[in-house]
Structures are given as C-alpha cells and as structure tokens.
Amino acid sequence: MTEKATATLPGRVEKIIKPMFSSEPEKAQISVEGADHLYREIRIENKLTDENGGEVKLKPGATVDVTVQADPEDTAKKP
C-alpha cells in the first residue's frame, strides 16, 4: 500500500463553542497558521481519542497540528 500525501500546519484552539441544544456536540474553533485569511478558522466536534482509546477534549489556547491527507491517486506531481 502506498503512503498518503500529507501536509501539516500548526494551529491553536481559539475558543470552545457550547451547543445551543443538548443534542448538539460541543465545537472547538481552531485557527490554522499559514492558511488564507478568510479560511483560517475551522470548527470541529470537540472530541478526540487518546492513545488508550479514551475520549478527551481540547482546551482553549491548546496548540494543535492540523493534517490533510490524500490518496496518491488524488494527487498530481508539481511541475
């Protein structure tokens, strides 16, 4: 199996967004360094898995790595 192409950018958790309704998940807003200004912030469900399989969540101000992966057939060589 061929490895996926990756790009990793540093980021920081700007804030934790509480849900309006209890049925909705809490969100973490992350500012991605190196991204275009208008597209710098992303929001994800604030639920991660630690090395033991336990559920954890991000704290405001946490430093994170944001990784994008793509299968080889979905990429092209740069000229």
Q: What pLDDT sits at residue 2?
A: 75
Task: Tell the burial category of 25 from Cβ atoms under 10 Å away from its Cβ (0-12, 13-18, 19+).
Answer: exposed
DSSP state string for 17-78 = E--SSTTSPPEEEEEETTS-GGG-EEEEES-EE-TTS-EE---TT-EEEEEEEE-GGG----
Mean pLDDT split into 10-residue runs, the chain, 79 residues? 90 98 97 95 98 97 97 93
Q: For position 1, what pLDDT does the model report?
A: 59
